[in-house]
Amino acid sequence: MKVDEAMTGDADVNHFHDAVTRTVGVGGVGIAYREIGSAENIPLVALTHLGANLDNWDPRIVDALATGRRLILLGYQGVGRSCGPIRARIEEMAGDAIKAIRALVQSQIDLFGLSMGGMVSQEIAHRTPWLVSRLILAISGPPVVLS
């Protein structure tokens, strides 16, 4: 997987407003992400709610989450600056996220899911328990299974 505009040793970005939107290739499709904070501890990957893109995060919350760790805000295929068709299933979103995470991180992660992002996070933790050190769910429910 190719990381577009990969980190090139620049100084760590410590604030949401200074973060640059980058893309990581997942199955030939660019998934948007932003990195904030330092790479000293286990990285925290954050997934947002239905209909949100990376600009919908609250800068105050993001800056606090990035204190003392690397925070990766990960987009969804077809949303915001990410390419490709919009995914219709949580399982598809989780598959894309797993591939993007593996391309960006060479270790375990902590995973934060907000609303629908929590549903995607649960699927990620279910499929790759060795990848997720801690799972944080905010205003989320169990994944919805449609027959």
**CATH architecture of structural domain 3-7+18-138:** 3-Layer(aba) Sandwich (3.40)
Annotated domain spans of the chain: 3-7+18-138
Q: Please check the confidence at residue 64 and state whether its pLDDT lies above 80.
A: yes
**In the prediction, which pLDDT does 141 show?**
79
Rounded distance between C-alpha atoms, residue 69 and residue 62, angstroms: 11
Note the residue count of the chain.
147
Q: pTM for the complete prediction?
A: 0.88
Sign of CA dihedral 42, 106, 10, 112: negative
Q: Which of 125, 127, 90 is nearest to 109 (CA)?
A: 125
**pLDDT tens for each residue of 77-91:** 999 999 999 999 999
Average pLDDT over the chain reads 89
**In the prediction, which pLDDT does 6 show?**
43
**In the prediction, which pLDDT does 143 show?**
66
**pLDDT tens for each residue of 103-142:** 999 889 999 999 999 999 999 999 999 999 999 999 987 7
